[in-house]
Amino acid sequence: MLSTEDNNLLTQVGSDVPLGRFFRRYWIPAALSEEIAEPGGAPVRVGILGEKLVAFRDPAGVVGLIKEFCPHRGASLVYGRNEIGGLRCLYHGWKMNQSGAVVDTPAEPATSRLKYKLCQPAYPVHEAGGSIDHDGWRGGCSGTQKEEIRPMNRVEVTDEFETLEATVRRHLMHALALARGNLRQSAMLLGVTRWKIARMVKRFELHDFVATMRREREHVTRTPLDPSTTAPASDPDAPSR
């Protein structure tokens, strides 16, 4: 039986908890391309890692993934009007683009600079193989276009199954190295069961690698004793027995 602390560690996925930060280091599928296949079509609601988001494809074909609720009055952007360059909230007409910047506030005076002080949390997206993936680590409320997007740390769509196996093997070896060959800790790092880790070790013939990691762990934890340095020095003034 897991303790409350361990259960929270393995199940909570908010942006301020360890597992949530771990997942956000990877590109994660957020929606299917077919869900927003039509440019200028209706936005779709996306719930992922405890966040409520909206995915849309504007009339120019540019995909966006932003927080669902308008920064002005909290109205849902699922019902927003899909325009070139972003979504327009139906409540007061505020418009947010794909990078989260507020580009239009029609209800404000012409001299108002409110739109420069607010922004909508948004996430970089990558579309491939019928999937729209988002980078949860780089998401947030920047209000500027993210031109420099880090390379995708996932397997690109390919017909070569060996590529997928090589990637799985690399991630498995990385987890085993971090856990010093401990299968249970490796399973926690990868979010799978210990028995699945054992099967994967057998499949990829990593028994020697696991044994090497365990020997290194024993070498680090064992403190060698040197009699020449640990033996107490004799006191010449002490009485002889």
pLDDT values of the chain reduced to their tens digit, one per residue, 241 residues: 678 887 888 888 888 888 888 888 888 888 888 999 999 999 999 998 888 999 999 999 999 999 999 988 899 999 999 999 899 999 999 999 998 889 889 988 888 888 888 888 899 998 888 888 888 777 666 544 333 444 444 444 444 334 556 777 777 888 888 888 888 888 887 877 888 888 888 888 888 888 888 887 776 655 554 555 444 545 445 455 5
Q: Which position has the token pair 């057998």?
A: 202
Does 233 reside within a domain? no
Helix H segments across the chain?
A: 4-11, 18-23, 161-178, 183-190, 194-203, 207-221, 227-230
Q: How many angstroms separate the CA atoms of 204 and 184, rounded?
A: 18
Q: How many angstroms separate the CA atoms of 36 and 41, rounded?
A: 7
Does 143 reside within a domain? no
Does 156 reside within a domain? no
Owning domain of residue 43: 12-135
Does 227 reside within a domain? no
Domain count, the chain: 2
| Backbone Cα Rg of the chain | 27
Residue 83, H or E segment = strand 81-83
Q: Are residues 93 and 56 in the same domain?
A: yes
**pLDDT of amino acid 163:** 53
Contact 181, 213 (CB under 8 A): yes
Does 77 reside within a domain? yes
**pLDDT of amino acid 139:** 67
Q: Are residues 113 and 171 in the same domain?
A: no
Q: Are residues 81 and 192 in the same domain?
A: no
Tokens representing residue 138 in the block: 């780089």
Q: Are residues 34 and 123 in the same domain?
A: yes
Residue 97's identity, in one-letter code, is N
Does 25 reside within a domain? yes
**pLDDT of amino acid 59:** 93
**pLDDT of amino acid 141:** 66
Q: Are residues 20 and 130 in the same domain?
A: yes
Contact 191, 11 (CB under 8 A): no
Contact 53, 65 (CB under 8 A): yes
- Read off the CATH number of the domain in which 37 is found: 2.102.10.10
Q: Are residues 191 and 129 in the same domain?
A: no
Q: Are residues 23 and 101 in the same domain?
A: yes
**pLDDT of amino acid 230:** 47
Q: Are residues 187 and 115 in the same domain?
A: no
Does 232 reside within a domain? no
Q: If you ran DSSP here, which 8-state letter would residue 76 be given?
A: B
Does 129 reside within a domain? yes
